[in-house]
Amino acid sequence: MNIRCIGRTPAQRVSRTLSVLLPLVLALPVPAWAAQELVVVRKTGQTSSYASQSKVAGASAACLDESVAFAFTVEPHDGIASIQLQRGTDVSRDIVIDVTLTCSSLQGTALVPFNALGGSATSGADFLSTPGVALLNLDGGQAGGGSSPPVSATVGLQLVENGQTGTQTLSIVRTEGSFQGTFADGNPVVGSIPGSSTPIVAVAILGQATIEQGAGVVPGIDPAADQISTATTQFCAVGGGGFGTIGCSVTQAAADLVADPATPSDVREAASIVLENNLLAVAPDETTAIAFMAPAMATAQTNNLGGRLAELRSGNQGGTVSAGGLTFLSHGIPVSFGSLASLLNVDDDESARNEEKRTLLGGTRLGLWINGTLGSSDSDRRRSNSGFKSDTWSLTSGLDYRFTDRFFAGAALGYSSMSADFAGDQGSLDANAKSLFVYSGYSTPNGLSFDGSVSYMRSDYSQKRVVELLELDASGTGYQSMGRDIARGDPTVNQVGANFGITYTIMRNTWTIAPQAQISLLRTTYEAFQERGPSEFNLRYDERRNNSRSFSVGGYFDRSFATSVGAFRPYLRAFYFADGGSSPDQITQFVLAGSDGSQVPLSIDMQEPDRRYGTAELGLGFSRPIGTRTVDFNFGYMQTFSFQDLDRWALRFDVRFPL
């Protein structure tokens, strides 16, 4: 009969005591930041796992128990047991778990696997995971305690973008493993290591706020940024052309922080700046300047022609006005302009047939002329339209013929150049334009005259639009530039116009008063074009058409002074404008297409120029006879009034060379 001795040696009593105390030692509260698990595999094959407050104390207690075959601890590699992943910002994350063998009485190996266990998140729908496995060498631990270097297992997480806006959770847990080996007496052993639902790392997947939602809570956001937030959301969303790009990622990250009520105020302030800046960088608010500049360039050419028409309208009034009262001094002797023709020996019959009788200043029925305008404007930002500063100049030259004393007609060519810089160093816009005019006029004996013209103008623009994105720095309370990309485009604008004017000219002695009314019609076509450059936010612009009309009423006033060098004419030209028509919103698409080949459209308001405004021009004219001909020259300064957010001025000149 075998009798089992109940009496215990001191070592056995210690082992028994430790087996009782071990669960108590390991059952102490565990901080959320230090999830540690002690796994004890006994020689009987029984496995126990304990959440450990102190892996050192727990491991030491386990290794003094003679019934333990081996034991190991499990903990996050970086000690952080709770992490957050942000949809739209975080695409994937590798989570590393350290497994440390604390003691072993076996010669063999153990496989300790880990994987993601869904909480409110669903595997395959919300995330994909790649399991990680740690291979323990059981020969490394000592039977009496001690530990080997940790062995790492890496679990790969990949977020599935599904538009989820709520917060979801999952955990990294230890799954079922196995071991095999031999004891010191040579007996083999094979067993399994049951898994555990104890979270080693808790993962929260934060729902993604849309870029539009983030923009909606930015206080005082620029209208242009607000208008394109919806389109940018679609472009950066799953399946959009910008999904996964760095520009979309940093903008999405800023939107998430702005929309999250728990974001600290200093972080939200920085994120708001980043979000608004990036949306403005995307917005084509600079391109809207073309809607201001194209009509202005056409108007400058029309004004140049208008100066010539004013001269022709006053060229023959049926002899109702005499210039005999105009005199100048020649060597101290008063000489009347009325006797100028005889003094110059041009009062013969041939000259009488060829000269313009009304002006008494010489010239044939055929005239060559050159008019020009040099101007500048400064436009403030106006809702969704960028501010800019521009410089323009235009030259118009033509040839006309007076068929009768009442009727004239001619043609002219024009060339214009414009250079503009957008506010905030956000790029530039340059243009060169060529124009063609055909014009004519008719005057009646009582001073009433009519004139009209048709025109065509083609403008070739070169646009440089700066796309400078910002990103939050590591602290979250500051930001930095990601570099300046230049989106280049070459818009073309075609304009067809017609003008009709009526003038009543009153000449009394040295005074000229000419009230005038004019109506102008202009059809503008902005041809389609596409930007090019390194930015993912390059845009393609649709063709747009705009019909506009302008009615103006005003007058011309001058007084002539004769001197020994010629006749001087100070003048004032003033007009009031009432414009009509509309500018359709600017429609564009992102160049990068989505996964289905579609392109996300976006639009921005084309802020209308003021409908009611005025201009005034103050200048000086000069006429001097040269032989049997007279050269006319005028120079003036023009200023625009009551045009909201725009300060525009111009220097104008015209020269006439009679042939």
The pLDDT tens digits for 540-589 are 998 888 888 889 999 989 998 988 888 898 999 899 988 877 666 667 88
Q: Lowest-pLDDT range, 287-296, 329-338, 440-449?
A: 329-338
The pLDDT assigned to 449 comes to 93
The pLDDT assigned to 655 comes to 73
Q: How confident is the model at residue 640 (pLDDT cuts 50, 70, 90)?
A: confident
Please, are residues 102 and 146 in contact by the beta-carbon 8 Å criterion? yes
Residue 48 β-bridge partners: 40
Residue 256 β-bridge partners: none
pLDDT tens digits for 131-174? Answer: 999 999 998 555 444 568 899 999 999 988 776 666 789 999 99
pLDDT tens digits for 610-628? Answer: 578 888 889 998 887 776 6
In terms of Cα–Cα distance, which of 52, 70, 68 is closest to 15?
Answer: 68
DSSP-derived 3-state class of residue 457 = strand
Q: Lowest-pLDDT range, 15-19, 110-114, 238-242, 468-472?
A: 15-19
Average pLDDT on 273-277 reads 95
Q: What is the mean pLDDT of the chain?
A: 80
Q: Give the Cα separation of 585 and 604 in Å (integer).
A: 6
* pLDDT above 50: residue 328: no
* pLDDT above 50: residue 445: yes
Q: Is 611 exposed, middle or buried (0-12, 13-18, 19+ CB in 10 A)?
A: exposed
Average pLDDT on 112-122 reads 92
All residues at 6 or more sequence positions from 81 whose CB lies less than 8 Å from its CB, including other chains? 32, 33, 34, 35, 199, 200, 201, 202
Do strands 177-182 and 188-193 pair parallel, antiparallel, or not at all (unpaired)? antiparallel
Residue in the block written with tokens 């992490």:
83
Q: What are phi and psi of 337, to 5 degrees?
A: -65, -25
* pLDDT above 80: residue 264: yes
Q: How confident is the model at residue 54 (pLDDT cuts 50, 70, 90)?
A: low
State in words which class domain 289-658 has.
mainly beta
Q: Where are the CATH 2.60.40.2030 domain residues in the chain? A: 10-206
Structure tokens at 17: 């005591």
pLDDT tens digits for 13-39? Answer: 334 433 433 443 333 333 344 468 999
User: With pLDDT > 70 as the criterion, what percentage of the chain qualifies?
Assistant: 80
Average pLDDT on 33-52 reads 82
Q: How confident is the model at residue 199 (pLDDT cuts 50, 70, 90)?
A: very high
* pLDDT above 50: residue 323: no
Question: Is the whole-model pTM more than 0.85?
Answer: no
The pLDDT assigned to 509 comes to 87
Residue in the block written with tokens 């450990």:
52
Helix (H) or strand (E) holding 367: strand 366-379
Please, are residues 188 and 181 in contact by the beta-carbon 8 Å criterion? yes
The pLDDT assigned to 369 comes to 86
Q: How confident is the model at residue 318 (pLDDT cuts 50, 70, 90)?
A: very low
Average pLDDT on 49-64 reads 69
- Which has more pLDDT, 378 or 398? 398
* pLDDT above 80: residue 241: yes
**Mutual angle of helices 10-26 and 55-63, in 10-degree steps:** 150
The pLDDT assigned to 276 comes to 94
- Which has more pLDDT, 307 or 151? 151
* pLDDT above 90: residue 186: no
Q: Is 584 exposed, middle or buried (0-12, 13-18, 19+ CB in 10 A)?
A: middle
Q: Considering the domain 10-206, what is its CATH architecture?
A: Sandwich (2.60)
Q: Lowest-pLDDT range, 292-296, 406-410, 540-544?
A: 292-296
The pLDDT assigned to 355 comes to 42
Average pLDDT on 424-453 reads 92
Q: Give the Cα separation of 469 and 426 in Å (integer).
A: 12
The one-letter amino acid at 631: V
Q: Where are the CATH 2.40.128.130 domain residues in the chain? A: 289-658
- Which has more pLDDT, 29 or 656? 656
- Which has more pLDDT, 522 or 319? 522
Q: Give the Cα separation of 433 and 414 in Å (integer).
A: 8
Do strands 529-530 and 601-604 pair parallel, antiparallel, or not at all (unpaired)? unpaired
